[in-house]
């Protein structure tokens, strides 16, 4: 069943059998990594959520991106750089490498918890996390590649590129299709996921456009998330200060459904011009 259709509430997708759990970093004398099986089974051990996407070897990502060279570079920002790569399957992906200083003091275990949350969000209308790499203290994530770029790129030209020209003027039918896709992505986060997630940074640069003008919500910035919220899903802390948050308000009382629904209007504005 299409994950964004119907009126039934849909919980976060359960991880498929066979995926190892993400665990906190081990002592220096022991192997480390989010996919290492957890030793022991005492009742005092903290529950660790699985990361529902594969870990990619750093050597493979180096090969796919030409050692993260300029030819593969497609964008950069305060968080790091984004590269274009093609997997062995032929699928194009966006490889986002975070700068060492962009993680806001987040430990590897906390970062893995955030990866776990994002990896289990399954919907046709926001960009899917496809993989990650944590080797040699790197923090790298792989997302679906937006073939037409962002809505901002189409309307104004590629962001951050001098002299960039806007794309072809969108027809009203194309505008409506893009707005519809973005709204369905938000609907899934707000009404299907339990606990709900409220997106807090919906703008044209975060609406990614694919072939056929299908739109998906994107740019879930893992580095701006509060460290302990993924493990405390029912707390009043936000999950992401610049991307999205669990629908518990700062004052302690939960947001109501009309608030998320109203927030859907934050993106289509640029499409009206």
- Classify the C-alpha dihedral 122-192-194-190 as positive or negative: positive
Query: From the candidates 99, 201, 214, 219, which is the catalytic residue?
Result: 201
Q: Cite the annotated binding site for ATP by residue number.
A: 96
Measured between alpha carbons, how far is 192 from 16 in angstroms, rounded to an integer?
19
Cα within 13 Å of Cα(181), Cβ side:
25
Neighbours of 63 (CB within 10 A): 11
- Can you tell me the distance from the alpha carbon of 226 to that of 246, in angstroms, rounded to the nearest whole number? 11
Q: Which residues pair with 216 in a beta bridge?
A: 208
42 CB contacts (<8 Å, ≥6 apart)?
Answer: none
In the residue annotation, 201 being an active-site residue is answered as: yes
Question: Among all residues, which ones are annotated catalytic?
Answer: 201
């Amino acid at each position: 069943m299409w994950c964004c259709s119907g009126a039934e509430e849909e919980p976060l997708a359960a991880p498929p059998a066979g995926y190892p759990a993400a665990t906190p970093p081990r002592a220096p004398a022991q192997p480390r990594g989010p996919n290492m099986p957890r030793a022991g089974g005492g009742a005092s051990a903290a529950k660790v959520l699985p990361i529902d996407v594969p870990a990619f070897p750093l050597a493979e990502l180096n090969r796919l991106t030409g050692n993260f060279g300029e030819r593969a570079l497609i964008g950069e920002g305060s968080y790091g750089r984004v590269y274009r790569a093609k997997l062995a399957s032929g699928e194009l992906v966006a490889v986002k490498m975070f700068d060492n200083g962009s993680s806001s003091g987040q430990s590897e275990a906390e970062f893995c918890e955030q990866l776990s949350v994002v990896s289990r969000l399954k919907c046709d209308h926001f960009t899917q996390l496809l993989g990650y790499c944590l080797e040699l203290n790197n923090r790298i994530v792989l997302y679906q590649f937006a073939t037409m770029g962002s809505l901002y790129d189409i309307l104004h030209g590629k962001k951050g590129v001098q002299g960039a020209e806007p794309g072809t003027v969108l027809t009203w039918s194309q505008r409506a299709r893009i707005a519809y896709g973005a709204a369905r992505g938000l609907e899934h986060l707000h009404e299907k996921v339990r606990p709900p997630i409220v997106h807090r940074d919906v703008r044209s640069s975060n609406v990614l456009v694919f072939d056929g003008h299908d739109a998906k919500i994107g740019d879930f910035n893992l580095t701006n998330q509060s460290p302990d919220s993924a493990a405390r899903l029912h707390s009043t802390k936000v999950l992401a200060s610049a991307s999205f948050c669990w629908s518990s308000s700062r004052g302690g009382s939960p947001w109501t459904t009309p608030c998320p629904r109203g927030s859907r209007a934050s993106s289509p504005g640029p499409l009206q011009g």
